[in-house]
Amino acid sequence: MISFGPVPSRRLGKSLGINNIVAPKVCSYGCVYCQVGATVKKSIKRESFFQPQFIYEKVIRHIQQISKDNYPDYLTFVSNGEPALDVNLGKTISLLKKTGIPIAVITNASLLDHESVRDDLYMADWVSLKMDAADNDTWQAVNRPHPCLNFESIMKNINLFKDGYKGILCTETMLIDELNDSAENVSALSVLIKEINPSKAFLSIPTRPPSDKSIKIPDAEKINLAWHIFDRMHITAELLTGFEGTDVGFTGNIYEDILNITAVHPLREDTLLKLLQNDKADFQVVEDLIKQRLIRSTNYDGYKYYMREFHIHI
């Protein structure tokens, strides 16, 4: 399950996703809103998951299978966990640059104290840093970090990274009802983000099923207030509150397409139906995958989604 899509990205246009972390989920955070599900292995230690050449060959093969109309705007590391935990990230980015397609990495920024992580991310053309909280208590409640991580240290290292990064730097804040959507947290967060001076600060809401089922979307007034607070700080902010659309890339292998995408990106029912149509497949494929317990369905915010079903053996 190395690459998937391309999927329509509200940040990056057509994004061909790269999952460089093995299943089940390995991450330094256990964010309450994560669409991949609960963190199975919480870690801050970099390790090898896949060899760079293996990822490169899988991505090249995937690109060769998609139509010109679906050619990606970015190759995006958006993993089954934190992509910077992969000790081979920099080597993989270096290989993928041969494609001529810009490289993006979406990271929670928790590992930037490692010089090796900063050096790896410096190689990417576009980097998004996770910033959900302005204080330790809110950070703990929303992101549920590894116990060895320190909030103040992460903020310091984010600034260290931005001073050396030459690409397009963005931040992303997930707004959660009654957790971090208060005017106090958003105002304090805007001060921290202003110091980083990103090209764009994304404000998002959980549009897919979160790992914590109690999580709710903030009301429209609070979302609007957050944008205005950022705007008053002269931060270029953009709301990511809408549905990306149903136009996902396809390879002709419907089983791989569904499993690869749902491993890191829950599929809304209308998107899945469009994928079946593009791959000239019947809904029986979905029923078979459910029977095999490879995917499952769930309802969220009035829509049905299909997610990867991971089985943990202890």
CATH number, domain of 152, equals 3.20.20.70
The pairs formed by 136-139 with CB atoms below 8 angstroms and a separation of 24 or more are 138/179, 138/180, 138/185
Give the chain's length: 314
Instruction: Say what the pLDDT of residue 244 is.
Output: 53
Does any domain span residue 8?
yes
Q: What is the dihedral of CA 176, 32, 132, 130, to 10 degrees?
A: -130
Q: What is the DSSP letter of 179?
A: T
User: 211-246 in b/e burial notation, b at 16+ Cβ within 10 A?
Assistant: bbeebebbeeebbebbbebbeeeebebbbbbeebeb
Q: Confidence class of residue 152 from pLDDT cuts 50, 70 and 90?
A: very high
Domain count, the chain: 1
Does any domain span residue 171?
yes
Whether 310 has a pLDDT exceeding 60, the answer reads no
When the pLDDT of each residue in the chain is averaged and rounded to a whole number, the result is: 89
Q: Confidence class of residue 312 from pLDDT cuts 50, 70 and 90?
A: very low
Give 242-276 pLDDT, tens digit per residue. Answer: 545 556 666 677 877 787 777 655 677 888 888 88
Whether 170 has a pLDDT exceeding 60, the answer reads yes
Paired tokens of 211: 């790992």
Instruction: Say what the pLDDT of residue 254 is.
Output: 84
Whether 159 has a pLDDT exceeding 90, the answer reads yes
Instruction: Say what the pLDDT of residue 249 is.
Output: 61
Q: Which domain holds residue 86?
A: 3-240
Q: Which residue has the higher pLDDT, 19 or 309?
A: 19
Instruction: State how far the Cα of 65 lies from the Cα of 114, in Å rounded to an integer.
Output: 37
Instruction: Say what the pLDDT of residue 243 is.
Output: 47
Does any domain span residue 234?
yes
Instruction: Say what the pLDDT of residue 70 is.
Output: 85
Does any domain span residue 293?
no
Instruction: State how far the Cα of 203 lies from the Cα of 230, in Å rounded to an integer.
Output: 10
Does any domain span residue 303?
no
The reported pTM is 0.80
What is the share, in percent, of the chain residues with pLDDT greater than 70? 92
Instruction: State how far the Cα of 245 lies from the Cα of 13, in Å rounded to an integer.
Output: 11
Instruction: State how far the Cα of 23 lies from the Cα of 5, in Å rounded to an integer.
Output: 18
- 211: helix, strand or coil: coil
Does any domain span residue 191?
yes
Does any domain span residue 265?
no
Task: Find, among 285, 253, 261, 287, the residue nearest to 7 by Cα.
Answer: 261
Does any domain span residue 85?
yes
Instruction: Say what the pLDDT of residue 313 is.
Output: 36
Give 99-148 pLDDT, tens digit per residue. Answer: 999 999 999 999 999 999 999 999 999 999 999 999 999 999 999 999 99
Instruction: State how far the Cα of 162 lies from the Cα of 112, in Å rounded to an integer.
Output: 10
Task: Find, among 75, 80, 132, the residue nearest to 105 by Cα.
Answer: 75
Give 28-74 pLDDT, tens digit per residue. Answer: 999 999 988 889 899 999 999 999 999 999 999 999 998 888 899 99
